[in-house]
């Protein structure tokens, strides 16, 4: 792999090996019960840290990567739609693996599995927390102990999100291309698209234009970062899939990696000069309006069991206090089935 650069395409991060990652705003779930998949409410804007050398904190410039603005207790999910070919993607939250709960590593493991198998895994809404469930990613400030990083390691040093991609090895990649040619010859170029999208509540959020590196109108002095990390919120029905490929199918070394800094809205404005996105949508108003939630079922996939470290992570409400945002349960008709959910039976009659 010669190109190890991670690139931004709009608000999509493209990692070497054909991996596409978008960060999607969503409704925050209640911290009790298990819920359907919440909708996408538009993409988080993503900017290169290196484009703001005069205003980005020195610590962030040293780590490189990208940044996105997020409100306290705002929820997000990661979309992998557009990933071009099979890849293993590691996702870290404060350099704790969101799949295994183990420390960040430059090598893949299957005991326990410390990566997602793309493109089979269409998205990730939170940490692997139970049989067929994840606990939602929720932004929280460092220093309170509420992040996954703080609860698993006892320290809050890194924050943010870390991504690292591994392509197929040479033989496995050649076999994949051979199988793809046979598939296209047999079935044509049919594709199936999920209806759950980052733009379910509209397209990418409008942002004020600003030239890279341009100082805000009232130029801010470089200050200590308002560091943010990810804790967990409510539980939802979502599998983290067991990879059915042997470990030898994957490259032994990563093709590319990126550090994603989570920025408070005031810090975002001071660094970029751009207005942050509007505050998160009220979930009760969303449900009252009759807008959809989703239930995703894949009958062929095998779910990963949770690890002790991630199963023990407590929701941010245990640290920050009760969740006072009202909740209204969606009606049955608002929850839309995706993928392998059974359809309604067709009745036969007299011929």
Q: In terms of C-beta density within 10 A (0-12 exposed, 13-18 middle, 19 or more buried), how is residue 6 classed?
A: buried
Mean pLDDT (the chain, rounded): 80
What's the pTM? 0.77
For the segment 244-262, the average pLDDT, to the nearest whole number, is 94
Separation between Cα atoms, residue 299 and residue 159, nearest integer Å: 35
Q: Is 200 exposed, middle or buried (0-12, 13-18, 19+ CB in 10 A)?
A: middle
> In the prediction, which pLDDT does 148 show?
95
What average pLDDT does the segment 286-307 reach? 62
Q: Please determine, for residue 63, whether its predicted confidence score (pLDDT) is greater than 80.
A: yes
Q: What is the pLDDT of residues 150-171, one digit of tens each?
A: 999 999 999 999 999 999 998 8
pLDDT in tens, 243-252: 999 999 999 9
Confidence of residue 209 (pLDDT cuts 50, 70, 90): very low
> What three-state secondary structure class fits 321?
coil
Whether 5 and 16 have beta carbons less than 8 Å apart is answered as: yes
Q: For residues 194-218, give the mean pLDDT.
A: 40
């Amino acid at each position: 792999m010669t190109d190890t650069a991670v690139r931004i395409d709009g608000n999509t991060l493209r990692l070497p090996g054909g991996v596409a990652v978008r960060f999607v705003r969503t409704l925050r779930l209640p911290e009790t019960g298990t819920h359907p998949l919440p909708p996408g409410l538009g993409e988080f804007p993503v900017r290169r840290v290196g484009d703001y050398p005069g205003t980005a904190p020195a610590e962030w410039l040293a780590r490189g990567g990208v940044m996105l603005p997020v409100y306290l207790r705002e929820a997000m999910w990661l979309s992998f739609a557009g990933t071009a070919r099979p890849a293993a993607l590691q996702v870290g939250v404060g350099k704790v693996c969101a799949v295994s709960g183990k420390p960040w590593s430059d090598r893949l493991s299957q005991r326990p599995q410390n990566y997602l198998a793309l493109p089979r895994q269409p998205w990730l809404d939170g940490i692997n927390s139970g049989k067929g469930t994840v606990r939602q990613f929720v932004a929280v400030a460092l220093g309170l102990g509420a992040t996954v990083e703080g609860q698993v390691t006892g320290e809050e040093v890194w924050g943010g999100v870390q991504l690292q991609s591994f392509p197929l090895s040479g033989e496995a990649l050649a076999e994949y291309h051979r199988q793809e040619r046979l598939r296209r010859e047999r079935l044509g170029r049919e594709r199936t698209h999920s209806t759950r999208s980052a733009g379910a509540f509209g397209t990418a959020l409008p942002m004020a234009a600003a030239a890279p590196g341009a100082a805000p109108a009232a130029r801010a002095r470089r200050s200590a970062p308002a560091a943010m990390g990810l804790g967990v919120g409510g539980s939802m029905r979502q599998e983290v899939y067991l990879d059915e490929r042997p470990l030898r199918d994957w490259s032994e070394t990563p093709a590319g990696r990126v550090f994603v800094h989570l920025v408070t809205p005031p810090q975002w404005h001071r660094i970029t000069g751009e207005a942050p996105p509007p505050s998160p949508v009220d979930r009760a108003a969303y449900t009252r309006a009759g807008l959809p939630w989703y239930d995703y079922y894949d009958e062929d996939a095998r779910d990963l069991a949770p690890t002790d470290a991630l199963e023990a992570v407590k929701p941010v409400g245990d640290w920050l206090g009760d969740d006072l945002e009202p909740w209204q349960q969606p009606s049955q008709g608002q929850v839309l089935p995706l993928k392998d959910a059974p359809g309604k039976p067709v009745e036969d009659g007299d011929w």
